[in-house]
């Protein structure tokens, strides 16, 4: 069976600066894959390319057996790519449930059905009690979960998580880790960008390390952590290894 997501020789340049160079990765169905690397490694760029925020300068992106390189973000969502934002982008003037309903409306135009799905997702994400609160009144950890819930409501095949665990307290992070596991258990493939290795390594099936815009190493978390190249790349970034 083909991989769910594949990037083929992706290169992305921003007015002369090379953010990604010849990046080819693949994510198999049902996997949790971690995309890690030191600051400025090009993780966010790759992430946004996969989500369809912009088109790569070179190379192609394949999702579910189709070339989606030219598709805009909205259409990728319709095909089954859900995402969260590193800097949370809630619909601030809308209630939590309404935020999630927006996501659910990709799959149905029947409001009753969308609302039912939204409650179901909120329940799953542990936000049901906050359904009628304005999104702007949520605490930061809840806003992160709302991001995940909103993306889940679009019933994605692939969920892209952009640093959803960073900056949380250990308890909050643990809740987050469990949420990601439960997401995978429902059959959704997860690709998560994280800066801090320690959080993601126990969670992921496979890790891809980016450095200076290129794939440095990929493999089982245990192997990746011990790889001398990874250690060197992170050396200038002590915090990330030892945190």
β-pairing, 206-211 vs 32-36, is parallel
Q: Does 109 help bind other proteins (rule: CB under 8 A)? A: yes
Q: C-beta of 127: minimal distance to other proteins in Å?
A: 13
Residue 86 tokens, joined: 């590193």
Strand partners, 186: none
Q: Does 92 help bind other proteins (rule: CB under 8 A)? A: yes
Handedness of CA 106, 108, 114, 120 (dihedral sign): negative
167 Cβ partners below 8 Å, 6+ apart? Answer: 140
Compute how many residues bind other proteins; rule: CB under 8 A: 38
Q: Does 117 help bind other proteins (rule: CB under 8 A)? A: no
Tell me whether residue 88 or residue 203 sits nearer to other proteins (CB atom). Answer: 88
Q: Does 177 help bind other proteins (rule: CB under 8 A)? A: no
Task: Provide the terminal-to-terminal Cα distance of the chain, rounded to the nearest Å.
Answer: 38
Q: C-beta of 143: minimal distance to other proteins in Å?
A: 12
Q: How far apart are CA 229 and CA 220, in angstroms?
A: 15
- Out of 13, 116, 157, 214, the residue judged to bind other proteins by CB under 8 A: 116
Q: Does 55 help bind other proteins (rule: CB under 8 A)? A: no
Q: Does 124 help bind other proteins (rule: CB under 8 A)? A: no
| Of 217, 160, 216, 214, the residue nearest 10 (C-alpha) | 214
71 Cβ partners below 8 Å, 6+ apart? Answer: 52, 79
Q: C-beta of 50: minimal distance to other proteins in Å?
A: 12
The residue range among 31-39, 146-154, 167-175, 186-194 that interacts with other proteins, by the rule CB under 8 A, is: 146-154
Q: Which residues make up the interface to other proteins (CB under 8 A)?
A: 51, 53, 72-75, 77-78, 82-83, 85, 89-94, 97-98, 101-103, 105-106, 109, 111-112, 114-116, 119, 131-133, 150-151, 153-154
């Amino acid at each position: 069976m083909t991989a769910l997501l594949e990037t083929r020789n992706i290169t992305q340049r921003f007015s002369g600066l090379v953010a990604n160079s010849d990046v080819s990765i693949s994510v198999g169905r049902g996997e949790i894959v971690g995309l890690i690397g030191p600051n400025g490694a090009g993780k966010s760029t790759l992430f946004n390319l996969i989500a369809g925020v912009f088109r790569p300068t070179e190379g192609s992106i394949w999702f579910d057996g189709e070339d989606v390189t030219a598709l805009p973000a909205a259409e990728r969502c319709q095909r089954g790519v859900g995402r969260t934002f590193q800097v949370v982008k809630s619909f601030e003037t809308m209630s939590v449930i309404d935020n999630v309903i927006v996501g659910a409306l990709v799959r149905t135009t029947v409001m009753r059905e969308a609302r039912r799905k939204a409650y179901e997702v909120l329940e799953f994400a542990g936000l049901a009690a906050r359904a009628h609160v304005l999104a702007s009144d949520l605490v930061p950890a809840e806003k992160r979960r709302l991001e995940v819930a909103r993306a889940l409501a679009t019933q994605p095949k692939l969920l892209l998580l952009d640093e959803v665990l960073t900056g949380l307290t250990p308890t909050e992070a643990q809740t987050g880790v469990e949420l990601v596991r439960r997401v995978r258990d429902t059959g959704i493939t997860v690709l998560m960008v994280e800066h801090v290795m320690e959080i993601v390594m126990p969670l992921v099936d496979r890790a891809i390390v980016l450095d200076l815009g290129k794939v440095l190493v990929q493999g089982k978390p245990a192997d990746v952590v011990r790889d001398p190249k990874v250690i060197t790349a992170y050396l200038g970034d002590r915090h990330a290894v030892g945190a």
